[in-house]
Amino acid sequence: MDLLSLARTVKDRVEAPITDVLAVAKVVTDPRTPLLLALSTVVVTPLYRAAFLASASGSGVLRCLAVRPCDLESLAEYLEVPEDRERLRTWLETGVRLGEFEVREGCYRLRSTTAKLLAQSGNDAVAAALEEIMRFHLPVLLDAPRMLKEGRRFSLDDQDGTVIARSSLALQGLVHEAIDRTLERTTPIRLLEIGCGSGAYVRHAARLNPRLTALAVDLQEEVAVRAADNMTEWGLTDRVETRQGDLRTLELQPQFDLVTLHNNIYYFPEADRVEVLERARSFLAPGGRLLLTSSCQGGGNLGLDVLNLWFEYADFGGPLPSEDELVAQLEKAGFADVRASRIIPTQPFRAFVGTNVQA
């Protein structure tokens, strides 16, 4: 090595760390760096985790891994991925990187407590709520200004009815309490449930009153089919008929002692609600009652605010009801003795009861 080369090497060795330090200093003192770091930690990483968990839950991967650790091949088989194992691996490895999964002896396992909890069947409503938030709430937050500009609205097809039917069971405790307070336990009862979702509340009513029989109806075909399957699984087909149907066009005699609408009054535009409630009343026998449960305006619940926003941007439905407005609409629809009651003090969730006194 000649002297000049030696000098150059020494100079390079000495300068490299200096250059590194300068580069680091430049990046660190960039005024955008703290914002980027804060965003990444506080906003982006939790969002990535939530999206990954929603996808792992919705695809069934969480449940699958909760039963036993799985290698890439068995997960590909489970997910019916015909080829392209490497892209599946990249997705799984992202889950590892996010701390939700881990790999041991070539098999993927659940790692985070959240992933383990979401995989439990008792937490299905919470897992579905996470999916609802990621798939349906985020688009309205992301696209509202663009939708306004383009005159675009969400339609019922933008919701997955079966996910909503599961997520809405997060309110189960509140709805059960409303049913417990209202349902006659010993006399034979004929129940009509409109917008039955999973059918879980008809099941609850049938358990409380062994002489109850019911017609459960839902607008969405796939939801009604799933509810009918549930009735079969729960051994209720001799007491409960389940079918697809729209409240606005149902042809039924005034034969029911109780009509229930749980968590769906906001599927109807505000201007149509009196008419909708009149129709619900027309199915009641004289003296029959309506039980309607719903989350209402106010209460400072951010999730409900975004749900409200979604319905504001949909081409069907309308905002969550306000308690006073809905009481007035029930009275206008001909119900007597209308009462709104709160179930627990902190929740903007109300049970509305009205009686059909007309023959």
Ligand X SMILES: C[S@@+](CC[C@H](N)C(=O)[O-])C[C@H]1O[C@@H](n2cnc3c(N)ncnc32)[C@H](O)[C@@H]1O
Q: Which residues sit at the interface with ligand X, rule CB under 6 A?
A: 161, 164-165, 168-169, 194-198, 217-220, 223, 246-248, 262-264, 267
Contact indicator for 234, 216 with CB cutoff of 8 Å: no
Q: Which residue has the tokens 């003192």?
A: 29
CA–CA separation, 264 and 318 (whole Å): 10
Sign, CA torsion 235/236/238/244: negative
The number of residues in the chain equals: 359
Q: How many CB atoms lie within 10 A of CB 304?
A: 18
Shortest Å, Cβ 191 to ligand X = 13
- Of the two residues 102 and 270, which places its CB atom closer to ligand X in the complex? 270
CA 338 to chain centre: 30
CA–CA separation, 89 and 72 (whole Å): 7
Shortest Å, Cβ 198 to ligand X = 6
- Of the two residues 61 and 291, which places its CB atom closer to ligand X in the complex? 291
Shortest Å, Cβ 208 to ligand X = 17
- Of the two residues 115 and 284, which places its CB atom closer to ligand X in the complex? 284
Shortest Å, Cβ 73 to ligand X = 37
Shortest Å, Cβ 303 to ligand X = 13
- H or E, element range at 110: strand 107-110
- Of the two residues 102 and 305, which places its CB atom closer to ligand X in the complex? 305
Termini Cα distance of the chain: 110
Shortest Å, Cβ 316 to ligand X = 8
Shortest Å, Cβ 22 to ligand X = 58
DSSP labels, 249-303: T----S-EEEEEEES-GGGS-GGGHHHHHHHHHHTEEEEEEEEEEEE-S-S--HH
- Of the two residues 102 and 158, which places its CB atom closer to ligand X in the complex? 158
- Of the two residues 79 and 252, which places its CB atom closer to ligand X in the complex? 252
| Alpha helix (H) residue ranges in 82-152 | 85-97, 113-118, 124-132, 138-150
CA–CA separation, 323 and 42 (whole Å): 36
DSSP labels, 325-345: HHHHHHHHTT-EEEEEEESST
Shortest Å, Cβ 103 to ligand X = 38
Residue whose C-alpha is closest to residue 267's, from 289, 247, 297:
247
- Of the two residues 99 and 299, which places its CB atom closer to ligand X in the complex? 299
Shortest Å, Cβ 142 to ligand X = 22
Cα distances (Å, whole numbers) of residue 94 to 75, 135, 275: 15, 19, 51
- Of the two residues 209 and 264, which places its CB atom closer to ligand X in the complex? 264
Q: Which residue has the tokens 């075909």?
A: 221
- Of the two residues 40 and 255, which places its CB atom closer to ligand X in the complex? 255
